[in-house]
Amino acid sequence: MTKSKETSEPAGGEQRRLQMVDIARLAGVSVSTVSRALNGSELVNAETRQRVAELARSLNYSINFGARNLRLQENKTVAVVVPYDARSRQHISDPFFLSIVGAIADALTDRGYDMLLSRVDAERLDQAAHWVDSGKAIGVILIGQWRQHDQLNDMAARKLPLVVWGGEMPQQLYASVGGDNVLGGTLATRHLLQLGRRRIAFFGDAKLPEVWLRRQGYAQALREAGVEVDAALELAAPFEPGVATEIVRQFCQVRRDFDAVFCCSDVLALLATQALRAVGRSVPADVAVVGYDDMPLAAYCDPPLTTVHQPVAEAGVALVEALLAQLAGERPALRTMPVYLMRRASAPDAAA
Which position among 26, 31, 102, 199 is part of the footprint of a copy of itself (CB under 8 A)?
A: 102
The answer to whether residues 131 and 327 touch, using CB atoms and an 8 Å cutoff, is: no
1 belongs to the binding site for DNA (CB under 7 A): no
Closest CB to a copy of itself among residues 177, 271: 271
Binders of DNA among 233-292, rule CB under 7 A?
none
Q: Rounded CA gap, 179 and 182, in Å?
A: 9
The answer to whether residues 347 and 190 touch, using CB atoms and an 8 Å cutoff, is: no
Closest CB to DNA among residues 42, 228: 42
Count CA atoms within 13 Å of residue 58 on its CB side.
Answer: 9
In this structure, how many other beta carbons lie within 10 angstroms of the beta carbon of residue 285? 11
Q: Rounded CA gap, 25 and 22, in Å?
A: 5
254 belongs to the binding site for a copy of itself (CB under 8 A): no
Using the contact rule CB under 8 A, the part of the chain among 98-106, 148-156, 164-172, 256-264 near a copy of itself is 98-106
Closest CB to DNA among residues 30, 88: 30
71 belongs to the binding site for DNA (CB under 7 A): yes
Using the contact rule CB under 8 A, the part of the chain among 129-137, 164-172, 226-234, 285-293 near a copy of itself is 129-137
Which position among 59, 157, 279, 297 is part of the footprint of a copy of itself (CB under 8 A)?
A: 297
b/e sequence 263-284, b meaning 16+ C-beta within 10 Å:
bbbbbbbbbbbebbeeeebebb
Q: Rounded CA gap, 271 and 286, in Å?
A: 16
The answer to whether residues 334 and 179 touch, using CB atoms and an 8 Å cutoff, is: no
Closest CB to DNA among residues 46, 350: 46
- The least distance separating DNA from the CB of residue 9, rounded to whole angstroms, comes to 13
Q: Rounded CA gap, 92 and 85, in Å?
A: 8
The answer to whether residues 171 and 148 touch, using CB atoms and an 8 Å cutoff, is: no
Which position among 21, 50, 74, 157 is part of the footprint of a copy of itself (CB under 8 A)?
A: 74
Which position among 46, 47, 58, 73 is part of the footprint of a copy of itself (CB under 8 A)?
A: 73
Cis bond upstream, residue 284 (ω within 30): yes
Q: Residue 159 binds what, of a copy of itself, DNA, none (CB under 5 to 8 Å, by partner type)?
A: a copy of itself
Closest CB to a copy of itself among residues 35, 220: 35
Which position among 35, 75, 220, 336 is part of the footprint of a copy of itself (CB under 8 A)?
A: 75
The contact mask relative to a copy of itself for 256-295 (x = CB under 8 A, - = no) is -----------x--xx-xx--x------------------
